[in-house]
């Protein structure tokens, strides 16, 4: 081994040793932090369950002692209960790793369509029956409270408002359509923030199946008979036997920003392309009741133009 003879060599050697020690300590500290804390929540809103949280957890069974609650700050009432590391708790017939607390509306698996993992245990059966309605256990659910009051969360205090259902079909007067995605909706529950334009749709169908047109085959548009205007279909609504009762459409240029201020004319009525939602009800082979609703609930549409009985055709996109 070469002997260090000059002060410069000794200084450089000492700096090298110190740098190596610092680097080693950094690696060790990172490793310890990762091993010990990687499974712990990194959001400061998460904390372990405390005694004052117990009333909020009433109605939840088999909760792991390692469960967490989410609160805006450590002193606030909890908003969610969460479990990690593939542990689940029971809420009614569900096995979950997350549930909102002290709430009158409970959403489950609401982010699955956005690529998030489901709140439900993957070991649950593929379908679950709730009040006689078959629902996909890994699909989205909405429950609403019909009795009792917070902060407790007994499953029996809630009823099903909506869930994703297995593949189905839409039966129209002239064609049957296949659907990859469908939802059950209990529209007897009068919650305006759940059902947009609640009065019109719910007056037609108290309990509905709804179908997003993006997942329907074949893909169709609605066209006025002998008219150049076409209307894009957004949603189909059927009764529980899959017979279509309502179709939600918008003008074909609705999403075109340059055309949003343009008017289209039907008979003696003028409607703004970008402001008008349209609902077809009372469907026959040739005609439907066309309901025109302004997006901003203004009085731009006169009473005589709010509903017209018009011919229509379904055409492939």
Per-residue pLDDT of the chain (317 residues; tens, 9 = 90+): 444 444 444 444 454 544 454 444 444 443 333 333 344 444 557 889 989 999 999 999 999 999 999 887 656 788 999 998 889 999 999 999 999 999 999 999 998 888 889 999 999 999 999 999 999 999 999 999 999 988 999 999 999 999 999 888 999 999 999 998 899 999 888 665 666 556 778 778 888 999 999 999 999 999 987 677 899 999 999 999 999 999 999 998 887 777 777 888 998 899 998 889 899 999 999 999 999 998 776 667 889 999 999 999 999 88
Instruction: Give me the pLDDT at residue 242, please.
Output: 94
Does a structural domain hold residue 120?
Answer: no
- Please give the pLDDT value at position 38: 41
pTM: 0.77
Residue 286 lies in a domain: yes
DSSP state, residue 155: G
Report the alpha-carbon distance of residue 125 to residue 136 in Å, rounded: 9
Q: Is residue 16 part of a domain?
A: yes
Q: How many residues does the chain have?
A: 317
Burial (Cβ within 10 Å: 0-12, 13-18, ≥19) of residue 63: middle
- How far apart are the C-alpha atoms of 173 and 269, rounded to whole Å? 27
130 lies in a domain?
no
Full domain range(s) for residue 246: 167-317
Whether 317 and 172 share a structural domain: yes
Evaluate whether residue 59 is within a structural domain. Answer: no
- Please tell me the distance from the alpha carbon of residue 317 to that of residue 218, in angstroms, as a whole number: 9
CB 150 within 8 A of CB 139: no
């Amino acid at each position: 081994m070469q002997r260090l003879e000059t002060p410069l060599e000794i200084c450089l050697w000492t700096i090298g040793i110190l740098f190596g020690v610092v680097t080693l300590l950094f690696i060790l500290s990172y490793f310890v932090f990762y091993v010990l804390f990687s499974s712990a929540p990194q959001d400061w809103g998460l904390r372990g369950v405390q005694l004052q949280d117990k009333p909020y957890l009433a109605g939840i069974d088999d909760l792991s002692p390692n469960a967490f609650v989410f609160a805006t700050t450590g002193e606030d009432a909890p908003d969610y209960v969460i479990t990690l590391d593939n542990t689940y708790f029971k809420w009614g017939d569900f096995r979950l790793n997350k549930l909102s607390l002290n709430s009158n509306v409970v959403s489950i698996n609401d982010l699955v369509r956005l690529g998030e993992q489901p709140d439900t245990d993957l070991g649950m059966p593929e379908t679950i029956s709730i009040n006689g309605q078959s629902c996909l256990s890994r699909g989205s659910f909405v429950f609403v409270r019909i009795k009792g009051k917070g902060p407790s969360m007994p499953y029996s205090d809630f009823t099903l408002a909506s869930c994703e259902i297995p593949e189905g079909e839409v039966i129209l007067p002239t064609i049957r359509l296949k659907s990859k995605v469908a939802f059950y909706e209990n529209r007897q529950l009068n919650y305006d923030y759940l059902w947009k334009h609640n009065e019109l749709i719910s007056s037609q169908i108290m309990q509905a199946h709804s179908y997003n047109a993006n997942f329907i085959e074949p893909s169709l548009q609605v066209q006025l008979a002998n008219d150049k205007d076409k209307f894009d279909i957004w949603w189909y609504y059927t009764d529980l036997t899959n017979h279509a009762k309502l179709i939600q459409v918008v003008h074909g240029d609705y999403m075109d920003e340059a055309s949003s201020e343009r008017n289209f004319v039907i008979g003696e009525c003028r409607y703004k392309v970008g402001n008008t939602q349209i609902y077809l009800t009372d469907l026959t082979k040739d005609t439907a009741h066309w309901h025109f609703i302004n997006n901003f609930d203004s009085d731009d549409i006169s009473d005589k133009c709010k509903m017209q009985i018009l011919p229509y055709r379904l055409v492939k996109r």
